Amino acid sequence: MVQTSVGDATVSPTPGIDPSAARAAVIDRSRAVAAARRRREEGFRWFVRLLSLAVVLGVWELYGRSVNKALFAPPSAVVSAGFEMTRSGELWSYLRGSLVVLAYGFGIALVLGIPLGVAIARSRIVDYALNWYVDAFNSTPNPFAPASASSGLTWSSHRRCPTSRPASAWRWDERWWAWSWPSSSPRSQASAT
């Protein structure tokens, strides 16, 4: 009797059953088990995340109530003040000033950043002259890094790689802690391969 091995399972052909059909059944069953395991792991991952969020908010609330609220406000006070400021229209007056500054900065970044990025990518001399400024700027803290890192969206630099990938690209990465700045670490270069 001939036995066929598929992974850890051994399929013994029985009379009247095609061995390739038996192997396909084992593969299908293995895939179903793996899919169920991934679903359980994803559920457990979200359970742990939500539990840790509840614990952090609970500790913050308890500690915030025991100290001066001007120094460390509890989350309930922050949320209620946010609702009150939104309802009264006060939040929008403060937000408008911040959004105007953000729009000016974004406009300047578009007008200057895109042509400079293209020039750096296309000219070795411009790259040598300006890239070290870009690297110095990239080593400064980014206020948006925690938000984008927690969403899983990470920035990877593919510059100077012998592939046909774009100079830089966003990529989805489940390992949100693997945040890497452009051209600042060997990991960002290795991620292009």
Q: Are residues 84 and 24 in the same domain?
A: yes
For 76-135, the pLDDT digits (tens) are: 999 999 999 999 989 888 888 889 999 999 999 899 989 999 999 999 999 999 988 888
Q: What is the pLDDT of residue 61?
A: 94
For 35-71, the pLDDT digits (tens) are: 999 999 999 999 999 999 999 999 999 999 998 888 8
Number of compact structural domains in the chain? 3
Residue type, position 84, single letter: E
Taking phi first (over 0 means left), then psi (-120 to 50 degrees means alpha), and beta for anything else, what does residue 160 get?
A: left
Q: Are residues 25 and 75 in the same domain?
A: yes
Q: Are residues 104 and 81 in the same domain?
A: no
Whether 136 maps to a domain, the answer reads yes
Full domain range(s) for residue 79? 19-88
User: Do residues 178 and 154 touch, judged by C-beta distance below 8 A?
Assistant: yes
The tokens of 171 are what?
């990529």
pTM of the predicted structure, to 2 decimals: 0.43
Q: Go through 78-108 and write b for each residue having 16 or more CB atoms within 10 A of its CB, e for each that does not.
A: eeeeeeeeeeeeeeeeeeeeeeeeeeeeeee
Q: Are residues 64 and 110 in the same domain?
A: no
